[in-house]
Amino acid sequence: MSFAPPLPDKSEQDEARQLRPKFGSDGLIAAIAQHVETGEVLMMAWMNAEALQATIETGKATFWARSRQRLWVKGETSGHVLEVEALLTDCDQDTVLLKVRPAGPACHTGRRSCFYRRLEVDGRSLSISPEKR
């Protein structure tokens, strides 16, 4: 299945009632995974059209691994899959938000979220959350 192309008129794209993802020139779209219950942002990755379609069809978060140049189902080796409960797009459909139910930590470090570093007030150093599951 291929997706309908984005509409050329921005206001029409903003109000489109059909999935019309606006992939970048590299064929990718940003995908943010957010815990469906807590609202915590767990991770961000990239999807191509095939990954987006697989996510819709299987209900499992599937991404395009840029480093490996292949599809990657989150948790395919660890078992920490992200079950997709809802898929949302932003106004111009160049980002997708996956509301997910994680089956374990989302980060490869073993942390609940990939966003575990906080910028300190000095604007240069980072504090790191020690929490791991």
Q: How many CB atoms neighbour CB 87 within 10 A?
A: 17
Residue 107 pLDDT more than 70? yes
Cβ–Cβ under 8 Å, residues 103 and 35? no
What pLDDT score was predicted for residue 91? 95
Encode pLDDT of 108-130 as tens digits.
Answer: 999 999 999 999 999 999 999 87
Distance CA 98, CA 90 (A): 11
Q: Any idea what the CATH number is for the domain that residue 122 is in?
A: 3.10.20.810
Token reading at 60:
């499992």
Residue 1 pLDDT more than 80? no
The verdict on residue 98 lying in a domain is yes
The verdict on residue 4 lying in a domain is no
The verdict on residue 3 lying in a domain is no
What pLDDT score was predicted for residue 30? 98
Residue range(s) defining the domain that contains residue 61:
10-103+112-128
How many domains does one find in the chain? 1
Encode pLDDT of 7-50 as tens digits.
Answer: 989 899 999 999 999 999 999 999 999 999 999 999 999 999 99
What pLDDT score was predicted for residue 2? 84
Encode pLDDT of 61-101 as tens digits.
Answer: 999 999 999 999 999 999 999 999 999 999 999 999 999 99
Residue 132 pLDDT more than 70? no
Cα–Cα distances (Å) from 9 to 16, 19, 58, in that order, read 10, 15, 32
From the list 37, 43, 75, 42, the residue with the least C-alpha distance to 58 is 75
Distance CA 61, CA 33 (A): 8
The verdict on residue 5 lying in a domain is no
From the list 81, 79, 118, 78, the residue with the least C-alpha distance to 98 is 81
